[in-house]
Amino acid sequence: MKSKDLGKKVFEALKELHQTLSEKYKDGTTAGEVKGKYTGTEAITQIDACLKTFCEKAGLEHKWPEAAAAPEGMEANPEMM
């Protein structure tokens, strides 16, 4: 049980970091440094790869990239798809 809790915390922290970096560098600029070493684009790419590897190797139920939510009303009527 502890491994699932820890895995969830790690996954959520990585997701939050990815989201923060994506928002900060959403305009596609590579200017600025992350931790004095990486451009914003490099950091986002590396965190994305880390999330993919974590989900593949951890053996937990996490998925990356996360499935996009269905538009409102679509889940109630599958015939519309």
Burial 8-36 (b: 16+ CB within 10 A, else e): eebbeebeebbeebeeebeeeeeeeebee
Residue 10 tokens read as 């790690």
Give the chain's domain count: 1
Sign of CA dihedral 34, 41, 20, 66: negative
Greater pLDDT, 59 or 1: 59
Residue range 29-42: mean pLDDT, rounded? 75
Query: What pLDDT, on a 0 to 100 scale, did the predictor assign at position 75?
Result: 58
Tell me if the pTM is above 0.85.
no
Query: What pLDDT, on a 0 to 100 scale, did the predictor assign at position 37?
Result: 81
CA–CA distance, 33 with 78 (Å, rounded to integer)? 45
User: What residues make up the domain containing 32?
Assistant: 1-81
pLDDT of 31 above 80: no
Query: What pLDDT, on a 0 to 100 scale, did the predictor assign at position 66?
Result: 76
